[in-house]
Every structure is written in structure tokens, then in C-alpha cells.
Structure 1
Amino acid sequence: MSKAQTKKSRKAILFARGLIIIIGGFITAYGLEAVLIPNSVSDGGVTGISIVGSEWTGLPLGLLIAVINIPFVYLGYKQIGKNFAILSTLGIASLAISTSMMHHIPSIIEIEGDTLLVTAVGGIIIGTGMGLALRNGGALDGIDMLAVLLSRKLPFGTSDLILFLNLFVFIVVSTVFGLKGALMSGVAYYIASKVIHIIEEGLSSTKAVYIITEHAEEMMKEIRDRLERSCTLQHVEGGYSKKKFKQIKCVITRLEESKMKETIQDVDPTAFVTVYDVTEVRGGNF
């Protein structure tokens, strides 16, 4: 492929990612305006602060989301790169514009006394939108970027700082929606974070199996015959015993896991086995 074709292909991929991120912003806005906000439930991060600011000042939510995120986009440009900043700007603009357009749409769920259902549905919707953005190289909320920067200056991990910053956000939320609203907002944020993780990482339908055994050749033969899977062989050494071993690595689907365990048990019941979830598999003959 020529340089011109490669450049054109990269632009097409960037355009496709930008389009998906815009859709993600639209989905997130729908979750906010049609589910969470009408039921006095907020989101975390910059969006949560924007919701509170909108309630306090009467300014449009979309305007506050756009303005408050500006320094975080600049931070992302400095810390991560130009493409990330561009894609994040598209996503935040989509979220801001969509919330303004949907501000007066009727709530799809409005159940008195059943805010847990509201938070679950709202968390799933906004988690889907944010997950699409993150999976495609952008972001709809700047608080994660702040946590990454602070983790380099303070003796705390990124996840700890994200939790701390959002605890502050939910305290602020309680001044508008009350303690119950703040707690439900925390639940919605937790559900959204889990949905984001699933969309980013997938459901891990494939697994990598590592087998340390003294019967490596026989083991690989049985795996090939029974599961029709190829293996990679590595030479390893015991850290304490200094004894030489052979380690087999094989990638299988979730449905093949029980058959793999049965094969290992038949060949070498004393084999040392570790199994890991695999996010993505490319190439080879998988």
C-alpha cells in the first residue's frame, strides 16, 4: 500500500471513529435527559458538575458541559495527543448539543419510589454512550484526564483519584438532589462504569491457557487432535528449583474451556495451569 493510500485509510478510520463518538454523545445525552435528570438523578464527573451548575444558575446544561470541559480537552491534548483531543472535542460537542436539543423530551421512565430501576436503565444508557466514545479513542468527560495528571504528582493511583474526585462531585450533587439523589447518582455512575468496561474490553469470549507440564509434546498433540487448536511452546525455569520446564500457550473460546480442562487432566493431572481472559485475538489461524 502506498503512502497516499495509507494516509487516506487513516483518515477514513478517523472519520468513522469520530462518527461513532458523536453517536455515543447522542446516546449519553438521551440517558441524561430522558431518564436520569427528570428523576432527580445525576451523573459523575464533569457532567455531574454541569447538571448541578445548571440547576443552580439556570444556564443550559449543554453550554456548561462544553465550557467546563475546555481545560480538560486541552489537558488531553498535552498529555495524550492531537487525535485524542479532536475526537474528544467531537464527543463533548455532540453531548452538549444533544442535551440542549433533548431538554424538553418526555421521560421514558418516571416511577415514583422506584429510583433503582431508573438508575439501572440510565446507567446502562449513558455507559453505552461513554463506552463507544472511549473504545474509539475519545472521551465525553474530562475528570479521568485530571485523575491521570494528578496520579503523576501525588502518591495515589488513577482509580483512587477518580473515586475521590467523584465522591466530591456526589457531595455537590446532594445539595441539589438531596442525599437520596446523590446515592442513586453514585449507583448510576457505578453501573455506567461497568457497561463502559464491557464495551471497551468486550465480554472476553476467548481465553489464553498456559500449561507447564513435563509431557509437553503429548499435551500439544492431544490439544491439536481434540480441540483442533495450535499451541506455542516456551522454555521456562523454576525460580526456586531452577528446574527446566516447557510451557504451552493456547488460545481457545469460552465454549472449549471445559474440553481443554478435560484434556489436561487426562494427559497430566499434575500440570500447572493458568487461564486468562483475552480481550481481542487477531491474525494466525484462530
Structure 2
Amino acid sequence: MDSTTRLFKHYIIPFILLAIGATIAAFALEEFLVPFTILDGGVVGVSMIVSKYVPIQLGVLTIIINIPFLYMGYRRLGGLFLIKSVFAMVVFSIMLGIFEDMEPVTDKEILVVVFGGVLLGIGVGLILKSGGCLDGTETVALLMSRRMDLSTGQIVLGFNVVIYGVAGVLFGLDRALYSLLTYFITSKVIDIIEHGMEQAKAVMIITDHAEEIADRIHAQLGRTCTAMEGYGRISSTKKTVLYCVITRIEVSTIKKIIHDADGSAFVTISDVSEIVGAHIKKKKEPARKVQASKAQGSAKRVPDQDHVDRAKSTVSDNHPKRP
């Protein structure tokens, strides 16, 4: 990758996405949420409350209240995070001023909640995915979680419960409930923007028909499996354990493949929050058989999440028995 391509990919494109995200977020607030006193969470939510009583523009308030959080984020995440966040906030503030005098898109509150939440989620999601932020409360929550027996998400939720509680007192219970629903929609859309529609699933299969199942998975889904040699502690029998990462829309297909090949296989399916390195895009090579290795520590490689490793492990067989 030459320097021009690297510059474009790592700097120019992210800042374009930051500007687009900030514009969409500003549009969602001014054209949907603000006219109906429906609040976002975090710093933006606090700014929306304060702006009702102080003659300062919402975008300016967001920057002012975010300053201490940005400082903490700079110390933890570095100067590029600070630059991206300030850039996003400046664009956000400018676009809020532009959209402020425009008429709301709709006067139907349910449409305001749904489409305002979706658009806000898209905007904030693009900003987060590009390495910036509009809301510094997550940085504080991350630091607090190190000193408290709570996760970052729980602390952020606690912040927002307080904000919506204040909104309920100041603006009425219905405003707080609408705001809470908007927050839920926004959070879900942010997750989709950050992690994609095809959420990854990890499948663990303990079976006596590993080769057949692995071949079918590769043939039908274009994926292969990591095959591990397991040992039942109680039955003293050897088992093959297959591990495969798929998308959620492929779950029903892989379950049928496993059931058809081995109705007594023991299967667990769990969420994968992040994949580092090899992706899970489908391979177009023809299916290859998973070859067992007799020698301890040997490995056979076939394309998957670029390869299939055969490793030796000990697996307990005290899982629930099928009737």
C-alpha cells in the first residue's frame, strides 16, 4: 500500500465519514427530536436539557460539556481521537445551526421516535466507527468501571437513567418515556453500524461424524471448521470437536446440516462480539475434507477463517444426554 492510498484510507475517508455522521446526527436532533423535547442520552441529552433554560446553542453546549471528557479521552486514546472528536463536534455544531430554522419533518410523535432514533443511531454509529465521538460519558464510564464492580455499559445506562429521570420531572413522564424508547432504537442502530448486519456466531460441535459435517458445512455455507481432538473424561472415548464462525442468518442451515449428519451431536452456539484478523466472508473454493492427523501436535490446513487447525484438547463429556 503506497503512501497516497494509506493517507486516503486511514485519514481522508474517516474524516469524510465523521462529517457525514455529524450531519445526520444533527439533522435527527433538530428535525425530529428537539422540537418535541425528546432527549438523547449522555452529554447531548444534558446539553438538550440545559439549552431549554440557557440561551446557548445546543452544539456549543455539547462541546463545552464534553471538554473534560475529551481531555480524559485524549489521555487514554491519544491525540487522533481528540482531533476526530473535535472535528465531529464542530461539524455537528455547525449543522445544528443550519437545521435549527427548518420545519420539523413530521408532527407524529411515534414517527419522530422511530425515525429520529434510527437517523441518530446512523450518525453516531458512523462517528464511532470512524474513531471519534459526540459523547464523552463512555470514556468516564470506562475509567469508573476499573474501580467499580460494574461494566461500562451499566455505568452509561445509569447516567442515562438519571438524565431521563430529570427529563420526566422537568418535561413530563411521557417525554422521558419517548426519550427512553428513542435511546433504545438509537443503541440498536449504532450496534448494527459498528458491527454490521451479519452478527457473527461461534458454533462448537462435539460429534463422531466430524469429517462429514465439516464437508457439508464447507459445501453448503462456504466455510470450514477448526477440528480439535477431544477426550471424554467419563466415557474415556475420543471425540472430535469442530469450531466454526458463521453469521446469524446461517444458524438454521448449520443446525440442519448437523442434525442430518449426526442427530446425537452436542452443539453450542454463542455470540461473537468481535473478530480480529481473518474475516468470515464466504470462500468460493470447492469443499475439502477435514483430514485427521494421528501424530500429536500435527496440523492440517484448509481454507476457512483462512485455515483449519487440528489441535489436541481435553473436553468433558458430562453434557446433557439426548433422550
TM-score by length of 2: 0.77
Structure 2 residue aligned with 1:20: 17
Q: Could you say if the C-alpha distance between residues 239 and 173 of structure 1 is closer, same or farther in structure 2, counting changes exceeding 3 Å? A: farther
1:91 equivalent in structure 2: 88
Greater shift after overlay, 180-189 or 122-131? 180-189
- Change in Cα spacing, 1:239 to 1:72, as seen in structure 2 (3 Å) is farther
Equivalent position to 2:57, from 57, 60, 78: 60
2:168 maps to which residue? 174
Structure 1 pair 237–78 and aligned structure 2 pair: CA distance change class (3 A): farther
State which drifts further: 227-236 or 140-149. Answer: 227-236
Shift of 1:155: 2.3
Q: Determine which of 123, 126, 130 is the counterpart of 1:129.
A: 123
* 1:215 paired to 2:203: no
The alignment partner of 1:245 has SS state of: strand
Of residues 232-241 and 71-80 in structure 1, the stretch that sits farther from structure 2 once superposed is 232-241
- For the structure 1 residues 218 and 183, does the alpha-carbon distance in structure 2 shift closer, same or farther, using more than 3 Å as the test? closer
SS at match of 1:156: coil
In structure 2, the CA distance between the partners of 1:51 and 1:260, relative to structure 1 (3 Å rule), is: closer
Deviation at 1:257, TM superposition (A): 4.1
Distance 2:134 2:239 in 1: 48
Partner of residue 67, structure 2: 70
Alignment root-mean-square deviation, CA: 2.6
Instruction: Please say if 1:266 is aligned against 2:260.
Output: yes
Taking the aligned partners of 1:238 and 1:83, their CA distance within structure 2 comes to 51
Pick from 267, 282, 285: which aligns with 2:283? 285
Q: CA deviation at 1:283?
A: 7.3
Residues 208-258 of structure 1 deviation map (CA, whole Å, 9 limit, x = unaligned): 433211222233334445555433212234466665421123345556544
Which amino acid in 2 is paired with 1:191? I
Describe how 1:77-226 pairs up with structure 2 within 5 A.
77-111=74-108, 115-204=109-198, 207-226=201-220
Q: 1:277 to 1:6 in 2, by over 3 A?
A: farther
Does structure 1 retain, via aligned residues, the 8 Å contact 2:32–2:106?
Answer: yes
Q: Unaligned stretches of 5+ in structure 1?
A: none
1:153 aligned counterpart, secondary structure: coil
**Residue pair 2:59, 2:89 contacting (<8 A) in 1 also:** no
In 2 relative to 1, CA 97–236 (structure 1 residues): closer, same or farther, beyond 3 Å?
Answer: farther
C-alpha change, 1:191 and 1:236, in structure 2 (3 Å) is: same
Distance 1:224 1:86, change over 3 A: same
Shift, 1:154, TM fit? 2.0
1:19 and 1:274 map into 2 onto residues whose CA distance is: 41
Distance 2:220 2:39 in 1: 52
Return the offset for 1:178.
2.3
Choose between structure 1 and 2 for higher RCO, CA contacts under 8 A separated by at least 6 residues. Answer: 1
More divergent stretch after superposition (9-18 vs 61-70): 9-18
Partners of 1:19 and 1:108 in 2: CA distance: 25
- Higher helix proportion (structure 1 or 2): 1
SS at match of 1:273: strand
Query: Which TM-score applies when normalising by structure 1?
Result: 0.87
Measured at CA, do residues 238 and 203 of structure 1 come closer, stay the same or move farther in structure 2, by a change above 3 Å?
A: farther
User: In the TM superposition, what is the alpha-carbon distance from 1:275 to its structure 2 partner?
Assistant: 2.9
